[in-house]
Amino acid sequence: MFWFRSEKKETDVEGQNVTCGCCPNGCRPKPPCPPSCPPGPEGPTGPQGVTGATGPQGVTGATGPQGVTGATGPQGVTGATGPQGVTGATGPQGVTGATGPQGVTGPTGPQGVTGATGPQGATGASGAVSEFLSAYSTPSQPGTSGSKLIFDRNAVSYGTSVTHSQNSADVTIEQPGYYYISFHGSISPAQGQKYPLTILMNLQQQGNAVPGSSVHCVFQNSSGVSNIAFTQIIQVKNVPAVVNVVGSGGGFLYTEISMNIQKLV
């Protein structure tokens, strides 16, 4: 280490002349040098001292203003699809919406080509023609209680299942089966009857009244006229079987009568 001494002398308070400067260890201290005494050159830097212990953390300062948002980075790779979740319960059905307006009908397309005609089917069996007979009587004829009405004419007939001789009351059925019978005509009271007069007409088969075929008329005086009619289906098991129309109840006149019989099966 070097010490520097100034050759300038000054008078201290006691009138002694001393020199200024620094003194090495153990020397008598000298008064400080006046401002005109320049410092010596700086010595070399000493070795760094040991780092002291870290002091306590200071108080956190106030948060500064938010910085400008940076640019968006590139999109990352899409992750794998997770497993499908459990299906939830079905919700209640919503209210049906109003029906929308009907759309405009489109134009009719062109007619397609007619297909080929198919083969003709086999001819079916010919149906059986029903056998029948119609008998009638035009002029007025008298009748008494229990008498059979006479049919003096035959109109048309087909087959041999039903036969009738003109001017006869009996119509004969020659084949077993079911037959449809219809009758109509007009009746009026005969002379000399007591009133009121009830006349009953009914169909008979083999002398027995056929249920459901009876009609009756009630006359209050001799000028009364009544139209009568009935229809019925009968079954014939034993042949030949005779059918008639029979009047009862008193004297009467019958006219314009007709009976039709048709074999059903």
SS (H, E, C) the chain: CCCCEEEEEEECCCCCEEEEECCCCCCCCCCCCCCCCCCCCCCCCCCCCCCCCCCCCCCCCCCCCCCCCCCCCCCCCCCCCCCCCCCCCCCCCCCCCCCCCCCCCCCCCCCCCCCCCCCCCCCCCCCCCCCEEEEEECCCEEECCCCECCECEEEEEECCCEEECCCECCEEECCCEEEEEEEEEEEEECCCCCCCEEEEEEEEECCEECCCCCEEEEECCCCCCEEEEEEEEEEECCCCEEEEEEEECCCEEEEEEEEEEEECC
* pTM for the model: 0.53
Q: What does the alpha-carbon distance between residue 188 and residue 195 come to, in Å, rounded to a whole number?
A: 12
Looking at residue 117, its pLDDT comes to 75
Q: What does the alpha-carbon distance between residue 144 and residue 122 come to, in Å, rounded to a whole number?
A: 59
146 CB-near residues (< 8 Å, 6+ apart): 246, 247, 248
Looking at residue 82, its pLDDT comes to 78
Per-residue pLDDT in tens (0 to 9) along the chain, 265 residues: 444 444 444 444 444 444 555 555 555 555 555 555 566 788 888 888 888 888 888 888 888 888 888 888 788 888 788 788 788 788 788 788 788 788 777 777 677 677 677 677 565 444 567 999 999 999 999 999 999 999 999 999 999 999 999 999 999 999 999 999 999 999 999 999 999 999 999 999 999 999 999 999 999 999 999 999 999 999 999 999 999 999 999 999 999 999 999 999 9
Instruction: Give me the amino acid identity at 63.
Output: T
73 burial type by CB count under 10 A (0-12 exposed, 13-18 middle, 19+ buried): exposed
Q: Which two tokens stand for residue 128?
A: 């059986």
Assess contact for 40 and 33: CB atoms under 8 A.
Answer: no
Looking at residue 16, its pLDDT comes to 45
Looking at residue 41, its pLDDT comes to 83
- Name the residue among 212, 209, 207 with its Cα closest to residue 241: 207
Task: Report phi then psi at 256, rounded to 5.
Answer: 50, 45
Assess contact for 136 and 155: CB atoms under 8 A.
Answer: yes
124 burial type by CB count under 10 A (0-12 exposed, 13-18 middle, 19+ buried): exposed
Q: What does the alpha-carbon distance between residue 239 and residue 135 come to, in Å, rounded to a whole number?
A: 20
Looking at residue 136, its pLDDT comes to 98
Q: What does the alpha-carbon distance between residue 245 and residue 149 come to, in Å, rounded to a whole number?
A: 6
Residue 90 CA: distances (Å) to CA of 84, 87, 93, 94, 96: 17, 9, 9, 11, 17
Looking at residue 5, its pLDDT comes to 46
